[in-house]
Structure 1
Amino acid sequence: MQDYKKITELPSKYNDLELMDTATILTNMNKEDKLIADAVSLVIPEVTKLVDALKERFDKGGRLFYIGAGTSGRLGILDASEIPPTFGLSHDHVIGLIAGGDVAIRKAVENAEDDTVQAWKDLEAFEITKNDTVVGIAASGTTPYVIGGVKEAAARGLLTACITNNPGSPLTQAVEIPIAVNVGPEFLTGSTRMKSGTSQKLVLNMISTALMIRIGRVKGNKMVNMQLTNEKLVDRGTRYLVEELKIDYSEAEKLLKKYGSVKNAIDASKG
């Protein structure tokens, strides 16, 4: 891997950053950020393939696991953590794992990402089956924790995919469905929490949201299975019912509180 040329490590197009005033720094960062969505658009075929494969596996009781280190690991955990409140699916369907364990979510854990066997040990704790899918996330495409995890998962018959920012990297070669978003060099050389991280978040949004739509957790364009954990969400759900059922607000609120979710209220009213 030492000879592998990483796009994410190439020098920034900008130099003497410390001599720039704040407005210039921000303007140049924004110029680079504008390139991200176009780069993501080029990998839609691969994301489509993954979502369709995930749909088939979820219908059989499969789960989605994200594994990563550092920023990439945290982004996977973020995406997984938002599934229950947004789509009302229990937390054990989409699971994010990070090198170094939960403590690494907030603090860097020294050398954790260099362990080639720990990812599979972390996955084994969830009683992995062949209907499960493992997606490795690594901007560099060389993280040992991630590569070791997807290789072992593939050897055990699981579907494997990756999200990386280096096309042709070792990680892309280790998975069945490689998603490689080439966003070019970072504004701050090598700082993959910037463009690379943003592109990963966009792809994760696409994967999980499209999957939830495909497995029936959305109706129309509404989050009908969202968890009603605060007044804002109760109000949102009530307004969904007003629009869908053509009833007044107070009646909609009563229905929502009686049935516990927008979907249940709609089904009960139309059943």
Structure 2
Amino acid sequence: MARQQLAQSLSISAASVLVLNSVLFLAALLVVIGTPHRSAPKPARGCRGELDEGIRYLREDRLIAVIIVLLLVTNMLDTALLAVFLPVYTASILHDPVALGAIVGVMGATALLGNLLFGWLGHRAGARRLVFTVAFAVGGVSPQIVLALEAELPVILLVVGVSGTATGAVNPILAVVTYERIPERMRGRVLSLTTLVSQGGTPLGVLVGGLLVDGIGLVPTLWLTAGCYATAVVVPVLPVLREMNDPALATGEVAAGHP
């Protein structure tokens, strides 16, 4: 009862949320418009030439290519979790719409906490690949399993809190590795391609997630996606990801073909 009263006191209408969201987007647009921009010289090879060069780099750098594929798969799973599985779970199993906001809020807050902690202590964490593998396993698999077990909300919040904190270490490691490996003059095109490919599957993740929930049910779908995530966790064990621990050496090898 107390939770319902608190939710009612803090709730605002859907229309108000949309208006607030629009105002924030407008504020962001004004910030971008008001930011001074420097004119950059046109590339000698043209946009198509630079794009081809970025694609060629990705073909040669095995580590970055593996990371892109890994992110493509896991981003699909994560998007399905946030956009499909959690709303259905809170509506059909917990029967509490407030739980959805609580779960997502804890995820976001602890992910931020994980980022801050890793930024502070990351240099003492040891081998990057080991930290990445552990963080990836804890952060990715555990939320799927706790939901598949139909746990109560306090247990879910505890698990997603630990998961979010662990996940906070993943992106900083990937950022450090990519910036150390990719030559400075190619970072723009390579990172753009990396983002394009890794995020390209997110709409498909929502579609497939919805079809699976409708076809086989929520709990079997959660076990299936937990298995997919567990399979993806095996990827960091591959020998090529040992280069995470010594990116400077790999940079020299890959960049040698790009004077």
Q: TM-score, normalised by structure 2?
A: 0.29
Higher relative contact order (CA 8 A, sep 6+): 2
TM-score of the superposed pair, with normalisation by structure 1: 0.28
Relative to its length, the structure with more helix (as a share) is 2
